[in-house]
Amino acid sequence: LAKTTQPISMDSYEGQEVNITCSHNNIATNDYITWYQQFPSQGPRFIIQGYKTKVTNEVASLFIPADRKSSTLSLPRVSLSDTAVYYCLVEVYGQNFVFGPGTRLSVLP
């Protein structure tokens, strides 16, 4: 299974763009990269998924370089409600999903 590495915590201010980078050096050809968001006492929620280049939805953008050894989740103009833990996951053909410690994002007023 590809192991992921992300910063343990990040601070930002309301209205700023936040970029969280995840390293996955051992990613395999068929692996997808998925990001989840978790609020306290709630289950993680899917944010975005990608395989290569750039993916954008109404919530975030995901940037994946050509070598796919890393990915960056970009949250535009964060608000206080974006304070949460963000997990980067590399999926392997629907096998068991092992979550790392994630990145604890704190958005300050």
Contact between 52 and another protein per CB under 8 A: no
Q: CA of 1: how far to CAs of 4, 31, 49, 59, 83, in Å? A: 9, 10, 17, 28, 29
Q: Which stretch binds another protein (CB under 8 A): 14-22, 41-49, 52-60, 70-78?
A: 41-49
Assess 109 for contact with another protein (CB under 8 A).
no
Q: Is 98 in the site for another protein (CB under 8 A)?
A: yes
**Binding residue for another protein (CB under 8 A) from 39, 51, 56, 106?**
51
Show the beta-strand stretches assigned E in the chain.
9-13, 18-23, 32-38, 45-50, 53-56, 61-64, 70-75, 84-91, 103-108
Which residues are near another protein by CB under 8 A? Answer: 30-32, 34, 36, 38, 41-46, 49, 51, 87, 91-102
